[in-house]
């Protein structure tokens, strides 16, 4: 990382930014009130990117998205991080109410979800995906909310699976799901072109899992979903291993840490990859407390009481998990024995390698999971600009990116009170809206 880049003044960046685009930095959004308040709140957090005069130009024909050529130089942000990953939230709704993500008290019948008409269409998503690919994106993860709740999602997957990187490679296309609908959908997803999948499961004990999803959803149905994914061949690699089928477990101290070993026993025995995620302070509604975070080093120590773990080198820059595999009887690391990954978002910030952008369900681009404002790409799509012109604008945003929230938090440089009733004037966006 360039040292001088580290010292860049955020204020200066904003000032520069506002000269080029019509920037509207908002007051606190109101998340709780009814009557369209959510939409207004969203607007308050939107940074419009278009010159109003461009609106009068012709809207490009559908399908022209597939023509955006690669830029000649890689798009790097202020810390020289490439734009290689895009997470796309396809819905802000979910059928679970995990207390760490969508607590029932907030996400209840009064909560204003996005109206259907506000959602990006599959064509809009595909066009934007193609634009991101022209800027260097190679991996796309569909997420939400619960992505399998989005009607006909396999049609979108089919469209995204057609996109090729400038060098002619297929995209690395994956999806994160709570698994509740996976039994029904696994084979359609695979047929549509989905290569890999991550299923979230926080416990094998039904009582613990039901308490965590808070809608009484049984473990067995998620396990059936995982089985259906295996049967469909989701995540199966050329070696015949399910290296692309991952299980995510959020560890919340005092709630499910006693499930770490049972989860590891089960999924390693199946040769799968199990990832332990530190409970994060994302959003402003989950009542996060540091005391409820189980540091990855403690998870690792616990795992080592039973498993002889060996570090596995990371595949590529931007990989979030610290990975460990198992040795076979000859003492050699054997990938068929599965692996564990530790995602230490709180205790070991990985901002330095963060190559992820996030596209919200309604088309706002967020440059960090902890961002408070998004950049309006949906309006840009309908502004009459060509794909190349949009790519230049998105590239410009990425070049100015200096986000590194977790790193700053580790140094105590972030506002700590981000609760609904707190004093921090800018609320962070919820994970269910921006995508995990």
Which residues partner with 175 through β-bridges? Answer: 142
Piece of 43-51, 68-76, 158-166, 351-359 that binds ligand SF4 (CB under 6 A)? 351-359
Q: Measuring CA to CA, which residue among 397, 361, 435 is closest to residue 49?
A: 397
> Is the Cβ of residue 101 or residue 268 nearer to ligand SF4 in the bound state?
101
Q: Is 248 in the site for ligand SAM (CB under 6 A)?
A: yes
Let me know how many helices (H) and strands (E) the chain has, helices first: 14, 13
Residue with tokens 């808070």: 214
Q: Is 368 in the site for ligand SF4 (CB under 6 A)?
A: yes
**CA atoms lying within 13 Å on the CB side of residue 83:** 34
Piece of 12-20, 174-182, 295-303, 322-330 that binds ligand SAM (CB under 6 A)? 174-182
- Phi, psi dihedral angles at 430 (to 5 degrees): -75, 150
Site string for ligand SAM, 104-143 (x = CB under 6 A): ---------------------------------------x
Instruction: Report the C-alpha gap between 141 and 293 in whole angstroms.
Output: 25
Instruction: Give every CB contact of residue 195 below 8 A, 6+ residues apart in sequence.
Output: 170, 172, 173, 174, 234, 235, 244
> Is the Cβ of residue 130 or residue 178 nearer to ligand SAM in the bound state?
178
3-state helix, strand, coil in the chain (%, to 5): 35, 15, 50
> Is the Cβ of residue 99 or residue 383 nearer to ligand SF4 in the bound state?
99
**What is the total count of residues that contact ligand SF4 (CB under 6 A)?**
23
SS3 434: helix
Q: Measuring CA to CA, which residue among 333, 435, 391 is closest to residue 131?
A: 391
Candidate list 77, 124, 281, 403; residue touching ligand SF4; CB under 6 A: 403
Instruction: Tell me the closest approach of the beta carbon of residue 85 to ligand SF4, in angstroms.
Output: 10
Q: Is 98 in the site for ligand SF4 (CB under 6 A)?
A: yes
State the sign of the Cα–Cα–Cα–Cα dihedral 213, 139, 156, 272. negative
Instruction: Tell me the closest approach of the beta carbon of residue 406 to ligand SF4, in angstroms.
Output: 4
Instruction: Tell me the closest approach of the beta carbon of residue 163 to ligand SAM, in angstroms.
Output: 22
Q: Which two tokens stand for residue 228?
A: 């259906």
Instruction: Tell me the closest approach of the beta carbon of residue 159 to ligand SAM, in angstroms.
Output: 20
> Is the Cβ of residue 97 or residue 404 nearer to ligand SAM in the bound state?
97
In contact, 64 and 45? CB cutoff 8 Å? no
Contact set with ligand SAM (CB under 6 A): 94, 100-101, 143-144, 146, 176-178, 200, 248, 250, 277, 279-280, 282, 286, 431-432, 436
Contact set with ligand SF4 (CB under 6 A): 94, 96-98, 101-102, 144-146, 178, 200, 350-351, 354, 356, 368-370, 403-406, 432
């Amino acid at each position: 990382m360039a040292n001088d880049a580290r010292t860049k003044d955020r204020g200066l960046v904003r000032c520069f930014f506002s000269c080029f685009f019509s920037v509207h930095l908002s007051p606190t959004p109101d998340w709780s009130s009814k009557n369209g308040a959510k939409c207004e709140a969203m607007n308050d957090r939107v940074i419009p990117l278009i010159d109003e005069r461009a609106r009068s130009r012709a809207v490009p024909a559908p399908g022209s998205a597939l023509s955006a050529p690669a830029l000649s130089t890689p798009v790097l942000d202020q810390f020289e991080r490439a734009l290689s990953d895009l997470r796309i939230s396809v819905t802000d709704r979910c059928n679970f109410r995990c207390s760490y993500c969508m607590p029932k008290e907030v996400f209840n019948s009064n909560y204003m979800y996005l109206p259907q008409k506000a959602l990006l269409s599959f064509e809009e998503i595909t066009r934007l995906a193609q634009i991101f690919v022209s800027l260097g994106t190679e991996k796309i993860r569909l997420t939400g909310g619960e992505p399998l709740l989005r009607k006909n999602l396999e049609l979108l997957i089919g469209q995204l699976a057609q996109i090729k990187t400038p060098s002619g490679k297929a995209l690395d296309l994956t999806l994160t799901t709570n698994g509740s609908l996976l039994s029904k959908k696994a084979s359609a997803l695979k047929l549509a072109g989905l290569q890999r999948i991550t299923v979230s499961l926080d416990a094998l004990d039904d009582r613990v899992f039901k308490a965590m999803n808070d809608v009484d959803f049984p473990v067995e149905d998620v396990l059936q979903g995982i089985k259906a994914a295996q049967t469909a061949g989701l995540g199966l690699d050329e070696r015949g291993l399910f290296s692309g089928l991952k299980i995510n477990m959020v560890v919340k101290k005092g709630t499910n840490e006693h499930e770490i070993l049972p989860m590891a026993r089960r999924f390693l025995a199946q040769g799968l990859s199990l990832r332990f995620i530190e409970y994060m302070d994302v959003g402003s509604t989950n009542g996060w407390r540091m005391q409820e975070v189980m540091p990855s080093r403690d998870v690792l120590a616990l795992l080592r009481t039973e498993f002889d773990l060996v570090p596995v080198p990371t595949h590529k820059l931007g990989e979030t998990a610290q990975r460990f595999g198992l040795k076979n009887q000859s003492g050699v690391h054997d990938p068929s024995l599965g692996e564990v990954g530790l995602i230490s978002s709180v205790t070991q910030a990985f901002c330095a390698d963060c190559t992820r952008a996030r596209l919200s369900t309604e088309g706002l681009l967020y440059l960090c999971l902890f961002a408070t404002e998004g950049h309006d790409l949906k309006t840009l799509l309908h502004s009459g600009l060509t794909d190349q012109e949009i790519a230049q604008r998105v590239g410009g945003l990425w070049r100015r990116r200096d986000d590194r929230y977790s790193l700053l938090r580790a140094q105590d440089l972030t506002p700590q009170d981000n609760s609904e009733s707190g004093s921090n004037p800018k609320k962070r966006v919820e994970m269910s809206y921006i995508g995990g």
